[in-house]
Each structure stands twice: as C-alpha cells, then as structure tokens.
C-alpha cells in the first residue's frame, strides 16, 4: 500500500480507504461486528490507515465498531467522519448549524473512543443554515484540537468554491478533501468539480468506485438481478446505484473495455482494473472501498499492485467518456 497527500495538506493517507457504511447495519447487507473487526485487522495488516465513516452509518454503530476495534491502534489511524444528516427526531439533530455540528462531533468522539478526528466532513449542503455559520463552527473545532482537517461531500461546485472563498477571506480552515461518487460509470464530477479541486488543492476521495458492484463484472446484460445478488438488485430504480441507472448500453460498453484490460493482466479482476483507473486520476488522493469478507477486501487491495500502460488507462477513459454539459463542453473544446 502506498500513501498519498490528502489534497494540499501534509496528511498522508493510504491510497485505498476502508469504507464502513454497512458496519453494524441490521439489513442482510450489513456487516456484523465480529466480521467488521476482521476486515479492520486485514486492512491494517495490508498497510491501510484511512478509515471512512459518518455518524449516520448504521445510526452510529459503524463508529462504535471502528472505535472499539482500533483500540490502541487509533494513534496510527486516519479517521474521517461526517455530519449533516438526521441523528434523531429532534429538529436540531440535523443540518449544519453550529449547535448540531458541535453536538454531532462530541457524539462521534464518544462512539469512536477518541478525543479528535483527523478529517471532519460536511456531509451535504444545508440550505437553512448560512454556510458562514457552518464554516466558523468547523474552524472553531480545528482551533480546539478536536478536528485536524476538514472536508466536503455532496456539495455543488459553486457551493464548494463559495465555501473556500469564505474560508480564505476569514482565515478559517479550508477543505482539504472532497468526497464524491466517482467511477468509470459515474464521471459527473469531471464537468466542474474535478478541475475546481485540482485548482484549489482539494483531494478527491471517491466513493462508489465500483458502481454499486456493476464494475465487478458479476452482472449479465439483459438479466436483471434478484434481491439476493447485492446492492443493485435491492435498490429502487430512481436511486443512483440501481439496475435501471447502471444497466445502460454505454455502461455495458465500459464494462467490456474493463474486462479487456483485465484479460491482459493474468489474475486481474474487473474490480481491480476499475479501482486502478481511479488511482491513476491525478486529483484522486484515496479511494473508498467496501467489502463483506476478508477475501473480498484482499482482492480489492491487490488493485494497488497492478501497473497499467498509459494506453490502457486511455482506452478505459475513452470507453467511459460522456458528453460534457454546456458550458464545460465549450470550454474543453477551446482548450484543445
């Protein structure tokens, strides 16, 4: 496992982060505590140090599980967690108000059994709270030593840039990381966010790097999965990681290109190739991966050992290309 700077900071994170969204979840897709502990051990053994969490993951159980499993190893870990979404029925237990931010962090610290988090993300835009209030609250947490760095997730590009401008003008801590859905079958952030992050020194931390499992190659064209085959088979059609959203002609062509590259590397899997493409993107600092078993985790971690020729990366990029929206389309043409 190699380590990379997280954005324009001195913080070094492993190139693959361990996702914890289903740790402790009660559904069939959830990972029980004992299995999660095995995943954490295997990840650390492979050299991983970057743990991705959020307070809403299994209602806080994911943070509890990671905090307990890390124990004395916490000092060597980079823990990233998030706040914004509801953590109760109280109207003040949601959003990015100063009150909710401070209360949410204290609750996360208790569950994680630590007195600071390395990266604290705004998990989504809050239209009810002035962003100045949210940024100042985050900056106060940094000044208090409870948060080391801050990040952003699921903001529009203009919202990220407005936040960075306010931070610079007021001398507040600025975002060093941006967490977004990004994969060979979801390249929407390239229209504006990718260039913004490159310009502003914000490291991209992709989630959903395998398109909800589509890029593993386990699905077949024309054969809709049932509810036992994974996330795509259980997700409503209007959601991002659904069969209706993934099973498009363009995505099947992308998967064919992924399989062709995998075939040229003995033992490589489509999932490893898909992760390798993301790791080759210059703006990507660390990719969030999930796994249900230790074997699955180790297989995904092996993506860091594969070396692809520039023409292979170019072929994947071309096969998965989407038409940029205006005005990005016009700007890109003028830049050539």
Ramachandran region of residue 277, left (φ > 0), alpha (ψ -120 to 50) or beta? alpha
Residue 192: closest CA among 322, 325, 303: 325
Q: Where are the alpha helices (DSSP H) in the chain?
A: 33-45, 61-70, 98-112, 131-143, 157-170, 193-200, 231-234, 243-246, 249-263, 270-279, 294-301, 310-319, 328-335
Catalytic site residue from 43, 57, 149, 182: 57
Collapsing DSSP to helix, strand or coil, 141 comes out as helix
- Using the Cα atoms of residue 205, residue 208, residue 211 and residue 213 in order, give the sign of their dihedral: positive
Residue 134: closest CA among 109, 166, 101: 101
Crossing angle of helices 98-112 and 61-70, in 10° steps, is 40
Between CA 148 and CA 145 the distance in angstroms is 7
**ω into 327 cis (within 30 of 0):** yes
Residue 92: closest CA among 120, 128, 60: 128
DSSP 37-89: HHHHHHHHHTT--EEE--TTGGGGHHHHHHHHHHGGGGGG-EEEEEE-S-SSS
**Strand pairing class (203-207; 287-289):** unpaired
Q: Are 201 and 176 in contact (CB under 8 A)?
A: yes
Q: Kindly list the strands in the beta sheet with 147-153, ordered across the sheet, starting from the edge strand earlier in the chain.
A: 203-207, 175-181, 147-153, 117-122, 78-83, 50-52, 16-19, 287-289
Q: Let me know if 149 is a catalytic residue.
A: no
Q: Where are the alpha helices (DSSP H) in 171-248?
A: 193-200, 231-234, 243-246
Catalytic site positions: 57
């Amino acid at each position: 496992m190699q380590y990379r700077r997280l954005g324009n900071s001195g913080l070094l994170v492993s190139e693959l982060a361990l996702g914890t969204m289903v740790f402790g979840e009660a559904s069939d897709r959830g990972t029980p505590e004992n299995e999660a502990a095995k995943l954490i051990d295997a990840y650390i053994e492979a050299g991983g140090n970057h743990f991705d969490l959020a307070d809403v993951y299994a209602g806080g159980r994911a943070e509890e599980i990671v905090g307990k499993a890390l124990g004395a190893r916490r000092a060597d870990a980079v823990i990233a967690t998030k706040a914004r979404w509801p953590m109760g029925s109280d109207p003040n237990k949601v959003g990015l108000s100063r009150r909710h931010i401070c209360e949410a962090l204290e609750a996360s610290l208790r569950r994680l059994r630590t007195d600071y988090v390395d990266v604290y993300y705004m998990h989504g835009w809050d239209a009810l709270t002035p962003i100045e209030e949210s940024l100042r609250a985050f900056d106060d947490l940094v000044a208090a030593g409870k948060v080391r760095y801050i990040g952003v997730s699921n903001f529009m590009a203009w919202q990220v840039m407005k936040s960075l401008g306010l931070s610079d003008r007021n001398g507040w801590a600025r975002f060093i990381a941006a967490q977004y859905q990004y994969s060979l079958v979801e390249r929407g952030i390239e229209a504006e966010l990718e260039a913004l992050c490159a310009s502003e020194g914000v490291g991209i931390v992709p989630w959903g790097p395998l398109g909800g499992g589509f890029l593993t190659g386990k699905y077949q064209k024309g054969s809709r999965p049932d509810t036992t085959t994974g996330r795509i088979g259980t997700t409503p059609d209007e959601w991002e990681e659904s069969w209706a959203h993934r099973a498009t002609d363009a995505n099947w062509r992308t998967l064919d290109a992924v399989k062709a590259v995998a075939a040229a590397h003995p033992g490589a899997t489509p999932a490893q190739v898909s992760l390798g493409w993301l790791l080759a993107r210059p703006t990507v600092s660390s990719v969030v991966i999930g796994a249900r078993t230790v074997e699955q985790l180790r297989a995904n971690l092996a993506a860091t050992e594969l070396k692809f020729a520039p023409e292979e990366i170019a072929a994947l990029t071309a096969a998965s290309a989407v038409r940029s929206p205006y005005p990005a389309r016009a700007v890109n043409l003028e830049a050539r």
